Chains A and B, each alone.
Chain A
């Protein structure tokens, strides 16, 4: 039994695919590619497949990962080639390595948020954004297991630089991620929609995952 961590990109149409659906898609691909998976023993054997951290619906993933266990050794290049050949274009696997850290160690995630104001006035939009995030009390509703909770986004975004790039406001916040605390970057969009007049287009991607020491998850 050989554990492998496979790294992939999730983009295009696949951004709008839920975690459960992605899981089904990868299982199907593994089955189609006839990858010699290791099966759990016991009454109802099933293949081992687990994802590092679900990606919020609509967010592009630049460096996502899932773990499998192989029954027999497969060269990285062959494993990737066989799986990529049976996956939709919008899911691309680019690396397969032995896992270094446990998914439970994930504590932070880096996102890139691009916002394009509909009226084209990016400078004013950035100004409004800075003013908003610089002060306390950016309250939003957050769905939790036991209903909804109100949280203040200010502490999470106050250190985030807001840059202007080609008519877009760009933010790259590092947000708590994982089982202990998880801040969905889309909460920011929710806050902006309520507070900043005029519509905007948004594009959000997750760049990478980090442990408590802010060292890259590998």
Chain B
């Protein structure tokens, strides 16, 4: 990009100026004179966080494959850079060209977590684009958004012109092409939005009216001007024939995940009842080992990365993991590339698998039992059994591992203090398993880290009606956990309950949170996901001054027949299924995973992945 002398002076003053200059290996440069449509792909967090995100890499490359389109990257400038930019009136620019994004055709945000919403507004403001849809004029960029948080788009409804629901590979380009066509025909912004709303997977919030009852609950959501009553998500049915990049922009800076990433499958066969991703991405669709192997190899060839990780919600659930690793090991050793497998499941961690990844690089061992007692694990349908977990750590200890990380959640529905104490008890059993071998008494010892996050009820899960524990209760449970630990071998840490509370408010919020967001932005809120910027006290002031009670969203139990803010968004999962699952949770009943048996969640309507595979077994 061109670095003006004005910008250069600013860059000399800020920390990590490399975040703001682009120029990385594999960054896509085009001649703007040959480009018809310009797209600013915005990740509302820092460069290091955004550059680690696989979804952005996929769409960046896919968009840039199109001759008429130039997609550039934009990240949220850190507070020091923001201050300098505002002082010198440098508008938010894209990293490839250095051009201000207010001159682009599209500004697109990926919404990965609710706490980035204040950054969305701040970035629009820094760009010099009107915050509200209603205030944008004909020449202004079309502001679009997608990603998992788009499943409940309502808190952002007044700021975003158009949401993409579900997977973007097809629908994004359909919308961009429609825009190009409509612009050529000199049609208005309103006409374009109205036509775009007809594309499956597109939600144009300004075409829906929301009415509220006297009880403060939503009475109805009514589409206008021919917009569909329900917006169904888009989904790629066959991942072997879905676009995947053969190169990544390879940053100079050390980002959060600085390596090649192979995508093994989308979705998850497990139906953990707290896990939104597990429902949003249904049904599970696998890539063949040939495809994954080729894609990983291409990425390593074109980036020079010496590490590739296999990404998915739980990689060891991949039905052909052994076959895949065998293929990859054929080239990875010779090319000095190591393979890492994140998010290993307890019951998928076999001896053989251990030895295979051990041959490459030793990373930490992590398990996610999520709850401390079997009863509560049944409630959340987390299929991890204690003896299997202990057997697995024994195997790992025998293989030389001596650090284990255990992930839990506190504040889960039906949880008691007994369940919380059970977290410490389980960690203790892992420690004891290590010292079963007397020879280990002398060595370096074992370290078990217990990480406890606070449960946030999310849309499209069986717990979408549940209240979140109050902050006070979460603190009590954290204290209970600490008091239940009796050895220095176990360290416990947790996520701040304050941020989980705000996350819970926005996760299940409605349009009445729009003014709250706007006011929070006006008072300088941003980077709420960062402890150095976040202040719940300041947020509570905003809620108070806007006359909105955050507990209404976070801590209230909804009834099954309440109209939920996201009821007009359709992820294929039937509401009756979620209600059934919620009831089963309260009866400590588990549900089999999709590979064991189909539970008829509704996702078979997409006619892809495991739903059709499961059926063919039945025939």
Which residues of A are interface residues toward B (Cβ below 8 A)?
A: 12-14, 16-18, 20-22, 24-25, 28-34, 57-58, 86-90, 116, 186, 189, 199, 201-203
Closest to B4 in A: A201
With the chains together, A87 CA to B26 CA distance in Å? 9
Which residues of B5-28 are within 8 A (CB) of A? 5-6, 8-9, 11-12, 16-18, 20-25, 27
Neighbouring B residues of A57 by C-beta, 8 Å = 17
Known contacts A21-B18, A28-B305, A29-B304; A58 and B12 CB within 8 A of each other: yes
Q: Are B253's CB and A21's CB within 8 A?
A: yes
Neighbouring A residues of B20 by C-beta, 8 Å = 16
Known contacts A32-B303, A203-B8; A13 and B3 CB within 8 A of each other: yes
Neighbouring B residues of A203 by C-beta, 8 Å = 5, 8
With the chains together, A171 CA to B147 CA distance in Å? 52
Neighbouring B residues of A58 by C-beta, 8 Å = 8, 11-12, 17
Q: Are B336's CB and A31's CB within 8 A?
A: yes
Q: Are B18's CB and A16's CB within 8 A?
A: yes
Besides A16-B17, A17-B253, 19 more A-B contacts (Cβ < 8 Å) are A12-B21, A13-B23, A16-B18, A16-B20, A17-B252, A25-B25, A28-B304, A30-B304, A31-B304, A32-B304, A34-B335, A57-B17, A58-B11, A88-B27, A116-B5, A186-B12, A189-B12, A202-B9, A203-B8
Q: Are B252's CB and A201's CB within 8 A?
A: no
B375 shortest CB reach to chain A, Å = 46
Neighbouring A residues of B303 by C-beta, 8 Å = 28, 32
Neighbouring A residues of B167 by C-beta, 8 Å = none
Which residues of B145-198 are within 8 A (CB) of A? none
Of the candidates A13, A24, A29, A30, which one forms a contact with B254 in the assembled complex, judged by CB atoms under 8 Å apart? A24
B48 shortest CB reach to chain A, Å = 12
Neighbouring A residues of B9 by C-beta, 8 Å = 199, 201-202
Q: Are A25's CB and B252's CB within 8 A?
A: yes
B52 shortest CB reach to chain A, Å = 15
Neighbouring B residues of A30 by C-beta, 8 Å = 304
Which residues of B479-502 are within 8 A (CB) of A? none
Q: Are B18's CB and A17's CB within 8 A?
A: yes
Known contacts A13-B21, A88-B25; A21 and B3 CB within 8 A of each other: no
0/1 string, B537-568, CB within 8 A of A gives 1: 00000000000000000000000000000000
Q: Are A18's CB and B18's CB within 8 A?
A: yes
Neighbouring A residues of B335 by C-beta, 8 Å = 34
With the chains together, A89 CA to B21 CA distance in Å? 13
Residue among B25, B302, B306 with most chain A CB within 10 A: B25
Neighbouring A residues of B454 by C-beta, 8 Å = none
Closest to A59 in B: B12
With the chains together, A193 CA to B335 CA distance in Å? 51
With the chains together, A39 CA to B268 CA distance in Å? 42
Neighbouring B residues of A116 by C-beta, 8 Å = 5
Instruction: List 15 A-B pairs, Cβ < 8 Å.
Output: A12-B3, A13-B18, A13-B22, A24-B252, A24-B254, A25-B25, A28-B250, A31-B336, A88-B252, A116-B5, A186-B12, A199-B9, A201-B9, A202-B9, A202-B12
Neighbouring B residues of A25 by C-beta, 8 Å = 25, 252
Neighbouring B residues of A202 by C-beta, 8 Å = 8-9, 12
Known contacts A17-B252, A201-B8; A86 and B25 CB within 8 A of each other: yes
Residue among A13, A14, A203 with most chain B CB within 10 A: A13
With the chains together, A16 CA to B1 CA distance in Å? 13
Neighbouring B residues of A189 by C-beta, 8 Å = 12
With the chains together, A29 CA to B1 CA distance in Å? 21
With the chains together, A29 CA to B303 CA distance in Å? 8
With the chains together, A28 CA to B24 CA distance in Å? 12
Closest to B2 in A: A12
By Cβ-Cβ distance, the 3 closest A-B pairs, closest first, are: A32-B304, A13-B23, A13-B21
Neighbouring A residues of B24 by C-beta, 8 Å = 13, 88
With the chains together, A189 CA to B23 CA distance in Å? 26
Closest to B304 in A: A32
Closest to B9 in A: A201
B602 shortest CB reach to chain A, Å = 45
With the chains together, A203 CA to B4 CA distance in Å? 11
Neighbouring B residues of A18 by C-beta, 8 Å = 16, 18
With the chains together, A186 CA to B18 CA distance in Å? 18
With the chains together, A25 CA to B254 CA distance in Å? 10
0/1 string, B315-341, CB within 8 A of A gives 1: 000000000000000000001100000
With the chains together, A9 CA to B168 CA distance in Å? 40
Closest to B12 in A: A58
With the chains together, A197 CA to B301 CA distance in Å? 53
Neighbouring A residues of B22 by C-beta, 8 Å = 13
A86 shortest CB reach to chain B, Å = 6
With the chains together, A14 CA to B335 CA distance in Å? 27
Q: Are B336's CB and A21's CB within 8 A?
A: no
Neighbouring B residues of A33 by C-beta, 8 Å = 304
A163 shortest CB reach to chain B, Å = 19
Known contacts A21-B18, A32-B303, A86-B25; A201 and B5 CB within 8 A of each other: yes
Neighbouring B residues of A17 by C-beta, 8 Å = 18, 252-253
With the chains together, A22 CA to B20 CA distance in Å? 16
Which residues of B241-295 are within 8 A (CB) of A? 250, 252-254
Neighbouring A residues of B252 by C-beta, 8 Å = 14, 17, 21-22, 24-25, 88
Neighbouring A residues of B16 by C-beta, 8 Å = 18
With the chains together, A13 CA to B16 CA distance in Å? 12
With the chains together, A21 CA to B255 CA distance in Å? 11
B313 shortest CB reach to chain A, Å = 29
Neighbouring B residues of A186 by C-beta, 8 Å = 12
Known contacts A58-B11, A201-B9; A12 and B18 CB within 8 A of each other: no
Neighbouring B residues of A21 by C-beta, 8 Å = 18, 252-254
With the chains together, A25 CA to B26 CA distance in Å? 12
With the chains together, A33 CA to B302 CA distance in Å? 10
Neighbouring A residues of B17 by C-beta, 8 Å = 16, 57-58
Neighbouring A residues of B25 by C-beta, 8 Å = 25, 28-29, 86-88
A133 shortest CB reach to chain B, Å = 20
Closest to B14 in A: A16
B157 shortest CB reach to chain A, Å = 37
B75 shortest CB reach to chain A, Å = 15
0/1 string, B18-41, CB within 8 A of A gives 1: 101111110100000000000000
With the chains together, A20 CA to B251 CA distance in Å? 12
Neighbouring B residues of A201 by C-beta, 8 Å = 5-6, 8-9
B197 shortest CB reach to chain A, Å = 40
Neighbouring A residues of B23 by C-beta, 8 Å = 12-14, 88-90
With the chains together, A28 CA to B337 CA distance in Å? 11
With the chains together, A21 CA to B23 CA distance in Å? 13
Closest to A116 in B: B5
Closest to A21 in B: B252
Closest to A14 in B: B23
Closest to B20 in A: A16
With the chains together, A147 CA to B302 CA distance in Å? 42
With the chains together, A106 CA to B386 CA distance in Å? 62
B415 shortest CB reach to chain A, Å = 44
